[in-house]
Each structure stands twice: as C-alpha cells, then as structure tokens.
C-alpha cells in the first residue's frame, strides 16, 4: 500500500535522525523513531508557528522534555523551514554545532528551553502555560492565544519534578497545556516494569488532568486525540501515545538496545528498506515531504502578520512593553527603603520592604514561596495569589514543591513578561538545584531568595542549618550569590538582580535582626556591591590585617575592628556580599580592597572552602566546616567561634605571624 504524505514526512524524520546519530556514532535513535508520527501530525496540523519569525510572541510552544530525542526536534525544525540546514544536522553532537546532544535554549533556533534532565521540560511547560494563562486573562485572546505542547517519555514520568509540576498544573486548571506521553515502556536498563508499574493515567486523573489515549503509529487516532486535546475542559491534557521505541527497525524495535545507541550500518539499511527509504542515501529529504511540511508557511506568516497588526493597539503595545527586559529607568523610579544607622532588621524583612517598593514599578515581578511565605517574606503585600479562577495574582503558593517551583519559574522566565522571585530556606536549595543549574545554563532572569541562611536558625539543628550550601551555589557558572549585611545592601542586591536580565541571581538572607551599618561618605553602594566586595570601614592606623566577611558576620568584623584598633592594631573591614563578583574584578581592584601586604581573616557562618584563596597562607578563615547543632543562636555562635573575641584572637595571631 502506498504511503500517504504524512507517513512520508514521518519517515523522513526517522531517516534524518537515524543518519545523524549514525554519523555522530552517538545519540538516542529510539525515541525519534517512535514519536515521529505523533510529532509530524502535531507540527503539520496543530502547531501554530512561523519559521520566518521564531520568536513571535503568540506562537505555540513546543518542548521536548524527553531531550535525549533531540534529533527529532532538529529534524522537525529543518523540515518545516527553520534556519537549520541539512549541514547543521550532519554536525549533530559536534563541537560548536547548532545541533548539540540535547536541545539548548538560545543555541538552536526554535528551541524553547534546554532539556535533557528528565522531567524538566514538562515542568518548564507548566510555567510557560501559566504565563500564557496570566497574559491571556490580562490582554485578551486576540493577543494571547497560544498553546504549550510537550513531548515527555517514561523517564519524565518517573522523575519527581514532573509529578510536582503536574500536580500544580492540575490545581491551576491550565487547559492550554498538552503533554504527549511517549509511552513505549522502555528505558536504558530494559523494560520499565523493572521499576515502574504504576497506572500513569490514573495518577494524572488524580492530579486533575484530562487523559486521552492514542495508538502512536495510527495517524487517524493521533489526529483525533490532538483535536480533542484542544477542546476546552478546564484541565490540562495528557495524551498517552502508545508507541514502539525504534519503530521501523527490524531487529531493534521495542528493545532497550535502540534507546541510546546508533543502529549500526547494517540495521540502518534494513530499517530504511522497511520504512520505504533509499538505503544507499544518507540525510535524504523527500521533496514531497518538504513541500507538504512547508505548504502552510505562507498561511503561518499571514497569521503572524495579522497578530502584529492587532498588537498595534494600546493593549498590544502594553503587552510588548511587558515582554521587554527591565530598564534602568524603571529601577531609577523605585523608592528604595532606608532606615537609620543602627536600626535593627533582619535581611529577610528588609527584602520584604524592597519587594514592596519594586512591585510598584515592575509589573513583571511575580513572587512566591514553597509554603514559607510567612517566613521568607518574599511575597508582594496586598497582591492576590494565583488560583484557577484568577491567574492575575502576582503571588503564588507553590506548596512544598521546591523543585517544581524552580523549574516552573524557568518556564515563566523563558516565556517573557515575568521576573519570577521564588523563595525557601537556604538549606532547601538542594531540593531545587537542578532547576537552578538550568536557569544558569539558559541565562534566565530568575531570582532565588533563600532565607534562614546559617546555623543561626538555632534550635532547628543541623538538618536545617545550611553550612555547605553557599559554597555549592557559588560554583554554578553564571549564578551570582549575594549575601547582604543590612537593608542598604539588600536594596543594592535586589537592584543587581533586576539588572541581570540574562542570568539568575540568588540572595541569602538572615532570620535574625542585624543593625544598619555606617558607610563611607559618597560611597556608591550599588556599584560597590556589583563589584562583589568593597571597603566598608578603612583602617585609622597603619594597616596590619583585613577582616573580610559577608552577611551577618560583617557586624562581627566591625566590632572586632574597633577592639583591634583600640589595641593599636590597624584593621580594615571589607564587606564581601559576592565572592563570584569579587573574583571577576581586575586584580588592581581586588588589591585595593585586600592589599597583598596585609593578612586577611575571612568570616562567614558556613564552609570556609570558598574563602581560602582570599586568606592565602598568611591569613585565616573563621567558619564552620562541620555540620551544625541544635542550640540557641548565641550558644552556637560561641561554640563555632563566631564571636568578637575569637575574631580578635585570630586576627592577632595572623598579625604576629
């Protein structure tokens, strides 16, 4: 029987994936071969996009949560007319190519988010769908009318982040989110029944999703399921696509052996014969498949242009302005809070004041906590919370779902129009670290507000005392971690967070009150904090030692300096809110703050590892290189040497040495 044009298109996708993976001698052919039919029907009949303007705001979003199947997405982009050439496909998984091993946001045209770690794409999709729902409610369906489509696999369904995010999507009733579940019952080690025997359909129904079934190689069933998925129901939709991994391979179809390895030359030829492809041609693209895939591109262009005309309206211009990065003018208009020198305030409460001020000038600001809003204070006072009957709230109750919170925030950020601020206790950063890492990898503007930043949470004990967490955060490329010492530094930290429009920023804030610090006259604190560290109080005697500290320990340094100078020892205090930013400064600036002629004593209520390069051989590090303990904060301070007396003693020792 002759193949219809959609079967030819799907088999063309399979052939491109097979050849690219074989040429690279690396990759995952099973998923592209198994989901090619579903993907081709979706792209040719349901997906709204314009290859000539990939960033068109009202396009549908397509996310490949099962990112190991990246060649399926690359083949689709090429076939449907995006700026991704056949030569690009031939460079699959090669250095500096446009077709890396997993889809990367900002690297390959048409890729909406970086995927690969399983479940992240699905959770990002929840964020994108939430952004769409919020903007559609505010600006109307004439301007915001897109859908979010996600292909997820058995691995995604097993990852906890997908479960957390799916639970929220059902709670919010995000009916324009459709997840196409590639249910082939195979993972790397073998059949999924080795470890995964639950009823996924029943689980998602319990989450509040509509669940549909489709035979993943029957074009009629696929078309019917996708059409039903677009019918309003007040729920997100899971379409379980029953597929065969490696579909078309005579020897490997249905086997875990086709999951993550090339087919091999002989099986490539046998598979192409079975699929009706020329076994002697490589990277072949059937002309009729190209014609069919791109036949609607003029119509797609016209749809986008019609939207652009509608966007000339006042509402349209307001939407487009919202999608722009935060400007210096917006930040200059903020009335930043202040307090008198010596006034007592925790930096978490200082953060609440700053967010209140920012919220009045930044409509993009979107805040929430993982069931800790009354503790982190990272919420916008007076603003409503997002619920299924009101997406316009500017706060969100994430529940106890730190990982989904971080990943959904990435989806909000990548959608545009949102600066998500998400918060929890610092020790729970580890629950969301994979999402934080991906925001840094993608260069997304997400704000992470972590409170209860040290052992000074006190009696909660070592399970809640983040002694090693700051060190772990500081090594994530692109993430800047800021630990401000008072309200003024908290204002400057938030300003920097808002200015970093292409990177994530984390704030570590205290539970305990801290006094507002005196500063040198004329100091540009925003600029100084942006350099990571600065001289907070200069020595009045010939310099003999520098006390460098962050956050709550800056106050220890100030008190210790007074004692040292009273004893005739010239001491300087350097506030170091960000080691990463300080280390990135020119050597000349670093030497101005920490002169090589003077030993450095570093002070932070956490691991000393990030500070050792500043202390060097002649200095010393005061910190905590063990787990914490359960006790009142003043008892802990004495136990771990975080006292003025100990700082003075250590400083005297390095000066004598």
Task: Indicate which residues carry an active-site annotation.
Answer: 402
Could you tell me the two tokens for 86? 């056949």
Contact 473, 479 (CB under 8 A): yes
Q: Tell me the chain's radius of gyration from C-alpha atoms.
A: 28
- Residue that has been written with the tokens 């002649």 in this structure: 618
- Spatial neighbors of 302 by CB under 8 A, at least 6 apart, are none
User: What are the C-alpha distances in Å from 40 to residues 32, 147, 246, 465?
Assistant: 11, 17, 16, 51
User: In sequence order, what E strands does 204-356 have?
Assistant: 210-215, 237-242, 344-346
How far is residue 653's CA from residue 657's CA, in Å, rounded to a whole number?
6
Nearest alpha-carbon partner for 501 in 419, 580, 578: 419
How far is residue 630's CA from residue 30's CA, in Å, rounded to a whole number?
52
Coil, helix or strand at residue 388: coil
Helix ranges restricted to H, 57-118: 70-79, 86-90
> Strands 600-603 and 543-549, how do they pair?
parallel
> Strands 570-575 and 534-537, how do they pair?
antiparallel
Longest dimension (CA), the chain: 97
How far is residue 129's CA from residue 118's CA, in Å, rounded to a whole number?
19
Question: What's the first-to-final CA gap in the chain, in angstroms?
Answer: 89
- DSSP annotation string for 215-230: ETT-HHHHHHHHHHHT
Q: How many CA atoms lie within 13 A of 81 on its CB side?
A: 20
How far is residue 467's CA from residue 453's CA, in Å, rounded to a whole number?
9
């Amino acid at each position: 029987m002759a193949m219809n044009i959609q079967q030819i298109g799907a088999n063309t996708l399979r052939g491109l994936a097979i050849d690219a993976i074989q040429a690279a001698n690396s990759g995952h052919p099973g998923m592209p071969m198994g989901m090619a039919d579903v993907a081709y029907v979706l792209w040719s009949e349901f997906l709204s996009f314009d290859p000539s303007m990939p960033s068109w705001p009202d396009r549908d979003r397509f996310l490949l949560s099962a990112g190991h199947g990246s060649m399926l997405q690359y083949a689709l982009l090429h076939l449907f007319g995006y700026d991704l050439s056949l030569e690009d496909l031939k460079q699959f998984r090669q250095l500096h190519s446009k077709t890396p091993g997993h889809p990367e946001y900002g690297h390959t045209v048409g890729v909406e988010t970086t995927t690969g770690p399983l479940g992240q794409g699905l959770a990002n999709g929840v964020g994108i769908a939430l952004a769409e729902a919020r903007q559609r409610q505010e600006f109307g369906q004439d301007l915001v009318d897109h859908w979010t489509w996600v292909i997820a696999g058995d691995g995604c369904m097993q990852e906890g982040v997908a479960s957390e995010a799916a639970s929220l999507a059902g709670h919010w009733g995000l009916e324009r989110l459709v997840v196409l579940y590639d249910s082939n019952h195979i993972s790397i080690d073998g059949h999924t029944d080795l470890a995964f025997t639950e009823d996924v359909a029943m689980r998602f129904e319990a989450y509040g999703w509509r669940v549909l079934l489709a035979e993943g190689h029957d074009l009629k069933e696929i078309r019917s399921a996708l059409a039903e998925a677009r019918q309003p129901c007040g729920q997100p939709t899971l379409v379980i696509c029953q597929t065969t991994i490696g579909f078309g391979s005579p020897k490997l179809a249905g086997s875990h052996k086709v999951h993550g390895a090339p087919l091999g030359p002989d099986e490539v030829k046998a598979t192409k014969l079975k699929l009706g492809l020329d076994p002697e041609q490589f990277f072949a693209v059937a002309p009729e498949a190209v014609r069919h895939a791109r036949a609607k591109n003029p119509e797609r262009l016209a749809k986008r242009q019609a939207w652009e005309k509608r966007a000339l309206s006042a509402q349209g211009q307001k939407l487009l302005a919202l999608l722009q990065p935060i400007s210096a003018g917006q930040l200059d208009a903020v009335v930043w809070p202040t307090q008198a020198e010596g006034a007592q305030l925790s930096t978490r409460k200082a953060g609440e004041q700053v967010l209140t001020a920012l919220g009045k000038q930044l409509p993009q600001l979107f805040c929430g906590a993982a069931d800790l809003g009354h503790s982190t204070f990272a919420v916008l006072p007076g603003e409503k919370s997002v619920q299924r009957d009101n997406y316009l709230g500017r706060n969100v109750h994430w529940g106890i779902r730190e990982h989904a919170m971080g990943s959904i925030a990435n989806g909000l950020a990548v959608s545009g129009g949102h600066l998500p601020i998400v918060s929890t206790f610092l020790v729970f950063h580890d629950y969301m670290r994979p999402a934080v890492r991906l925001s840094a990898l993608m260069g997304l503007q997400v704000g992470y507000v972590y409170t209860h930043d040290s052992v000074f949470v006190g009696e909660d004990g070592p399970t809640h005392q983040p002694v090693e967490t700051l060190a772990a955060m500081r090594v994530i490329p692109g993430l800047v971690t800021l630990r401000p010492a008072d309200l003024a530094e908290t204002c400057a930290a938030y300003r920097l967070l808002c200015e970093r429009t292409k990177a994530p920023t984390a704030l570590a804030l205290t539970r305990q009150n801290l006094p507002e610090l005196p500063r040198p006259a004329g100091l540009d604190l925003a600029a100084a904090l942006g350099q990571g560290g600065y001289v907070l109080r200069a020595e009045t005697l010939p310099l003999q030692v520098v006390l460098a500290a962050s956050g709550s320990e800056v106050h220890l340094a100030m008190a210790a300096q007074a004692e040292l100078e009273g004893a005739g020892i010239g001491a300087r205090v350097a506030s170091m809110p960000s080691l990463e930013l300080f280390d990135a400064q020119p050597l000349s600036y670093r030497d101005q703050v920490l002169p090589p002629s003077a030993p450095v004593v570093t002070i932070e209520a956490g691991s000393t590892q990030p500070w050792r390069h500043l202390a060097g051989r002649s200095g010393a590090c005061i910190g905590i290189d063990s787990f914490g303990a359960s006790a009142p904060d003043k008892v802990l301070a004495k136990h771990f040497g975080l006292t003025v007396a100990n700082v003075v003693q250590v400083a005297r020792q390095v000066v004598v040495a």
